[in-house]
Structure 1
């Protein structure tokens, strides 16, 4: 049963594998991270861990039973009770409801653990799966945007509503 975990230093090798194995899959629906990301992954991971320790971001990985990273769900640019949500699920794990469950859990963590009141998210119009996840997890469309030259939508989620902590088993994705 996959588990949502706060990103740690020891996740680095599995996280890099996840990103490399799914690079083409992700690039079909979100902007590619570029070669620099992979060439300097270790330094970038150290920097992100330092930023997380400073409270600027909250990074999470979805870890399978064998320790493999199946996804990531991040809260970035934390400021004034707000953050931007980003997530990606491995191609092999897509379509099983993992993104929806992980986003629900991160919404609950954002409210209860991180003290956030609002989350923002963006997705392209040609990514119906991501739009569906956002709709199922209480995000409302907030406007049209352009994301790396592609048409998209911005979304917002008020974490003060009663359904934020509805997941009955935090830490475990069913």
Structure 2
């Protein structure tokens, strides 16, 4: 399994977020954002940890290189309070198991909070890589849904659920 660590998002991570805004990274999540939207997102990520509603993290390689983002946040889903999870990895680091390792690490962080039983992820049905991350990270596929993302737009997604009361198998 790939080795990564996750660190809480900081002011120093704006350059990474700009790189993650590339069309090939954002192809399944509504496309690239304007610089104003990226700056706003960065500020939300920096402030997020102090809210108690989730946390965004930077995905860091053993050599210190920042290669992605991963996080969890509160969401109401079908009448239940759950965490939603999301992630992105720079194109040159995709396909190496880094996203799966990062999702497992963020699931452990969410699990340690002991505030939600389930976490969900909603990758587009047309995004085989993110769906594979869910499967490899121990999520259960509940089926296809229409999911609103970005706000105001529906996309066909898979609803993946992870039970945070059970340990994640390390494979």
What are the superposed Cα offsets for residues 44-89 of structure 1, whole Å, 9 maximum, x if unpaired? 4223322331112210111235644211111022677621000111
Q: TM-score, normalised by structure 1?
A: 0.78
Partners of 2:114 and 2:32 in 1: CA distance: 27
CA shift at 1:110, angstroms?
0.8
**1:2-21 alpha-carbon deviations (Å, 9 max, x no partner):** 421111222223332x224x
Match of 1:151 in 2: 156
**SS of residue paired to 2:123:** strand
In the TM superposition, what is the alpha-carbon distance from 1:90 to its structure 2 partner?
0.9
State the SS of the aligned residue for 1:151.
strand
Name structure 1 gaps, 5 residues minimum: 169-174
Cα RMSD after superposing both structures = 2.5
Aligned to 1:98: 98
- Name the CA shift for 1:48/1:28 in 2 (closer, same or farther; >3 Å): closer
1:134 Cα offset (Å)? 0.4
Q: Which residue of 2 aligns with 1:12?
A: 14
Unaligned runs of 5+ in 2: 148-152
Contact 1:105–1:167 (CA<8 Å) still a contact in 2?
A: no
Distance 1:49 1:138, change over 3 A: same
Counterpart pick for 1:160 among 148, 162, 165: 165
Q: What stretches of structure 1 move > 3 A for 4+ residues in a row? A: 40-44, 64-68, 78-81, 113-116, 147-150
Match of 1:82, SS? strand
Aligned positions of 1:1-150 closer than 5 A? 2-16=4-18, 18-20=19-21, 23-35=22-34, 38-64=35-61, 67-77=64-74, 82-113=82-113, 115-147=115-147, 148-150=153-155
Encode CA deviations 1:97-151: one digit per residue, 9 max, x unaligned: 1011111111111111464321011011111111111011111112311344543
Tell me which moved more, 39-48 or 87-96.
39-48
Q: Distance between the aligned counterparts of 1:90 and 1:114, measured in 2?
A: 31
